[in-house]
Structure 1
Amino acid sequence: MISVIVGAFLAFDIFGKLTRPDAVVEATAELGFPTNQTYVMGTVLLVCLVVYAIPRTAVLGAVGITAYLGGAVTANMRIESPLFSTTLFALYLGVLLWIGLILRRPELLKVAGLRR
């Protein structure tokens, strides 16, 4: 269920990046990105989300989404957005992403050295 919630939130973000409503274009410009880059951001996130949704490639998708979310944290830090509500939101989402994946695939705890 956690993976579905995270996936739905990311799908909403993808939809915004690809349809480019004024609010998304303005927010992208505020973060210092060229506004035409929303298509690239949306496409990259879409590919990562599709890869995450496929059980066999879910870990690779999670790594890609984690990298994407790291960029979101960095972009918000650069413009000094509020820390806990805005800047770290992508971190919270990333933690939920991995919790959802671990609940789907508990053997990942062994790979991470958290279980024998």
Structure 2
Amino acid sequence: MTTTTAPNAPATLGPAAQRAGRIVTGLVTLFLGFDAVTHLLRVPQVRDASADLGIPDDMIMLCGAVLGALVVAHLVPATRAMAVVLITAYLGGAVAVNLVAGQPWANSGFAILTAVLVWAGAWPRDARLRALVRG
């Protein structure tokens, strides 16, 4: 299997790292996909939690659609690097909302952990992402 990398991009990591990246990506995809679907379906728990955070009811489906599109984009190799950055931004917004609303630190910590896992899953499999960070 031959991998094409961008000029000056770091070399592809080994098969064990790539396998671990796929596993982490799979788990994160399941979680974020579930979260997107619950927003799109406006399940009562999501509506209640959003109301507690001061998020208008009409924004719930929009958040689900944005997250769902980003989850799909991060599974496509051509858009993975962009999607990882945008998922990080989305989760950064979740951290900000939780902090402003006075939610427990664990809520923000969970969003930060999720962002770290998104990066951890993509890092070994995307040389463009590593090149982006390397500069």
Query: TM-score, normalised on structure 2?
Result: 0.78
Q: Structure 1 vs Structure 2: percent identity of aligned residues?
A: 35
Number of equivalent positions: 113
Deviations 1:7-53 (A, max 9, x none): 11000101110111111101011111101111100011111111111
Q: Measure, in 1, the Cα distance between the counterparts of 2:96 and 2:47.
A: 18
| The one of 59, 74, 91 aligned to 1:37 | 59
SS at match of 2:124: helix
2:123 is matched by which residue type in structure 1? I
Q: 1:76 to 1:113 in 2, by over 3 A?
A: same
User: Deviation of residue 107 (structure 1)?
Assistant: 5.5
| The one of 34, 41, 44 aligned to 1:19 | 41
Aligned to 1:88: 109
SS at match of 2:134: coil
1:34 is matched by which residue type in structure 2? P
* Bigger RCO of structures 1 and 2 (CA < 8 A, at least 6 apart): 2
Deviations 1:45-88 (A, max 9, x none): 111111111011101111111111011000100111111x2112
Aligned to 1:2: 24
Tell me which structure has the larger Cα radius of gyration.
Answer: 2
Q: Measure, in 2, the Cα distance between the counterparts of 1:38 and 1:108.
A: 30
2:119 is matched by which residue type in structure 1? W
Tell me, yes or no, if structure 1 residue 54 matches structure 2 residue 53: no
Q: Measure, in 2, the Cα distance between the counterparts of 1:26 and 1:108.
A: 36
2:120 is matched by which residue type in structure 1? I
Aligned to 1:102: 123
Structure 2 unaligned spans of 5+: 1-22
| The one of 94, 119, 128 aligned to 1:72 | 94
Structure 1 unaligned spans of 5+: none
Query: TM-score, normalised on structure 1?
Result: 0.90
Q: Measure, in 1, the Cα distance between the counterparts of 2:118 and 2:62.
A: 22
Q: Measure, in 2, the Cα distance between the counterparts of 1:107 and 1:30.
A: 39
CA RMSD, Structure 1 to Structure 2 (Å): 1.4
